């Protein structure tokens, strides 16, 4: 007789709980402190506006479609509610082979814990594999002392979200939490940036970085589609970013595309946003670097190219920097990936930590530059 693991291990069961007497509100309600996108004034939880997607569609339909995914969008709020539910409607169902359902379609809740001195994972959204909507509990504080708790919820990484609602006690207090650092970062990259193979949304490295810096980080990761078109440079240049990280080698660097487009991409971006600092990252190492000699040589070539490109733009008085991603995964770099390419949670943590170190170095550089002007 066929059996299911949940019959043996109750921790594997999908959660069923009653949300009666809770009041549900859209995650876009200002009380929930939504962040991570400039397109939230439109329908859904998209990273690109409808106009921007239309601009991209003729040149890169993949970026246009993925711009509707909610990667990097999150909520920061405090509440004294004894329960926190999410009610979510997805455009489609779980269908990826190298991601968990929770990472692709789910959500997670982090709560500040004084004992740990950190935001700690509290719960993830668990629901049936064939579902395109779910209503599940994320916050479990029944029977606890009524007090304000600092919460962060991360939205799905690889899914179009049609609606996302938060359910709280009817008499609950809720208010947004602002970032302590007003610096605004953007990351333009590939599936790795979008969060592919993170076990749950909060483990995507853009979300880890945002939490570490206590600053807004906009995720412009476009799976298999980051090819540095002029149109994308214009879109990114229209954002009010203090720093843009460009980490596109895993897509644009599989041939000579990156070499051919990078100069025009940067020129277009800086025409729109002349004072934004740009960090050009070379990619992390992949398992294929051990057996595909041509790709390994191309990566070495791009390491040199990106370093020289950043230096050339600095000579033109632009805040351009290079960061070498080759050494982000120490030792046996293959174990930091889920499939030889896409980082597992350990890989995501390593990338976020390296980005944070690089950004700290760049902030010092920019401060010294300001003194000289």
Looking at the chain, the whole-number percentage of residues with pLDDT higher than 90 is: 91
Shared domain for 121 and 209, answered yes or no, is no
Q: Name residue 149's beta-bridge partners.
A: 79
Confidence of residue 367 (pLDDT cuts 50, 70, 90): confident
Residues 19 and 324: their CA atoms lie apart, in Å, by 49
Nearest CA-CA partner of 265 in 286, 284, 243, 248: 248
Shared domain for 157 and 303, answered yes or no, is no
Shared domain for 237 and 338, answered yes or no, is yes
Shared domain for 283 and 267, answered yes or no, is yes
Last residue of a domain, one of 176, 211, 245: 176
- CATH number of 98's domain: 2.60.120.260
> For residues 47 and 67, is the Cβ–Cβ distance under 8 A?
yes
pLDDT at 372: 63
Shared domain for 366 and 227, answered yes or no, is yes
pLDDT in tens, 50-103: 999 999 999 999 999 999 999 999 999 999 999 999 999 999 999 999 999 999
Is 52 part of any domain? no
Q: How many independent structural domains does the chain possess? A: 2
pLDDT at 8: 46
pLDDT in tens, 88-113: 999 999 999 999 999 999 999 999 99
Last residue of a domain, one of 136, 159, 176: 176
Give me the chain's average pLDDT, please. 94
Shared domain for 166 and 230, answered yes or no, is no
CA-based radius of gyration for the chain: 21
Residue 214, pLDDT above cutoff 50: yes
E-state strands within the chain: 22-26, 34-35, 74-79, 83-90, 108-113, 118-124, 133-140, 149-154, 161-169, 174-176, 184-189, 216-221, 243-247, 277-281, 320-323
Q: How far apart are the first and last CA of the chain?
A: 76
Nearest CA-CA partner of 93 in 134, 138, 50, 42: 134
pLDDT at 21: 86
Residue 9, pLDDT above cutoff 90: no
pLDDT in tens, 322-336: 999 999 999 999 999
pLDDT at 365: 84
pLDDT in tens, 266-323: 999 999 999 999 999 999 999 999 999 999 999 999 999 999 999 999 999 999 999 9
Residues 306 and 300: their CA atoms lie apart, in Å, by 10
Residue 12, pLDDT above cutoff 60: no
Shared domain for 169 and 188, answered yes or no, is no
Shared domain for 137 and 205, answered yes or no, is no
Residues 147 and 155: their CA atoms lie apart, in Å, by 25
Expressed as residue numbers, the domain containing 196 is 184-372
In this prediction, residues 215-220 reach a mean pLDDT of: 98
> For residues 32 and 174, is the Cβ–Cβ distance under 8 A?
yes
Shared domain for 151 and 202, answered yes or no, is no
Residue 139, pLDDT above cutoff 50: yes
pLDDT at 283: 98
Residue 251, pLDDT above cutoff 70: yes
């Amino acid at each position: 007789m066929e059996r299911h693991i949940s019959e043996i291990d109750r921790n594997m069961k999908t959660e069923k709980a009653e949300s009666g007497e809770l009041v549900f509100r859209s995650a876009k309600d200002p009380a929930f402190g939504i962040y991570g996108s400039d397109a939230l004034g439109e329908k859904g939880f998209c990273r690109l506006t409808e106009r921007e997607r239309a601009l991209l569609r003729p040149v890169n339909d993949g970026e246009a479609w993925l711009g509707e995914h909610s990667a990097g969008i999150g909520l920061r709020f405090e509440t004294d509610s004894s329960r926190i539910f999410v009610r979510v409607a997805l455009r489609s169902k779980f269908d990826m082979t190298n991601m968990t359902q929770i990472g692709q379609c789910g959500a997670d809740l982090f709560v500040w814990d004084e004992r740990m001195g950190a935001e700690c994972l509290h719960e993830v959204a668990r629901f049936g594999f064939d579902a395109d909507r779910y209503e599940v509990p994320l916050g479990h504080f029944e029977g606890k002392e009524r007090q304000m708790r600092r919460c962060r919820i991360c939205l799905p990484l690889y899914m179009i979200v049609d609606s996302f609602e938060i359910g709280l006690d009817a008499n609950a207090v809720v208010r947004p939490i602002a970032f302590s650092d007003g610096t605004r970062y953007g990351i333009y990259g590939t599936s790795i940036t979008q969060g592919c193979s993170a076990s749950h949304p909060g483990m995507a490295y853009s979300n880890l970085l945002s939490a570490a810096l206590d600053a807004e980080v906009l995720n412009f990761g476009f799976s298999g589609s980051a090819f540095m078109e002029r149109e994308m440079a214009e879109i990114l240049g229209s954002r009010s970013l203090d720093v843009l990280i460009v980490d596109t080698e895993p897509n644009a660097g599989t041939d000579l595309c990156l070499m051919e487009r990078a100069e025009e991409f940067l020129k277009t971006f800086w025409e729109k946003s002349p004072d934004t600092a740009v960090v050009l990252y070379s990619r992390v190492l992949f398992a294929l670097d051990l057996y595909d000699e041509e790709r390994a040589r191309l990566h070495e070539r791009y390491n040199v190219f990106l370093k020289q490109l950043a230096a050339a733009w600095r000579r033109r008085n632009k805040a351009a920097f290079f960061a070498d991603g080759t050494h982000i995964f120490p030792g046996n770099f293959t174990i930091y990936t889920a499939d030889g390419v896409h980082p597992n949670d350990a890989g995501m943590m390593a990338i976020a930590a390296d980005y944070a170190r690089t950004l700290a170095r760049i902030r010092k550089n920019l401060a010294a530059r300001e003194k000289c002007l």
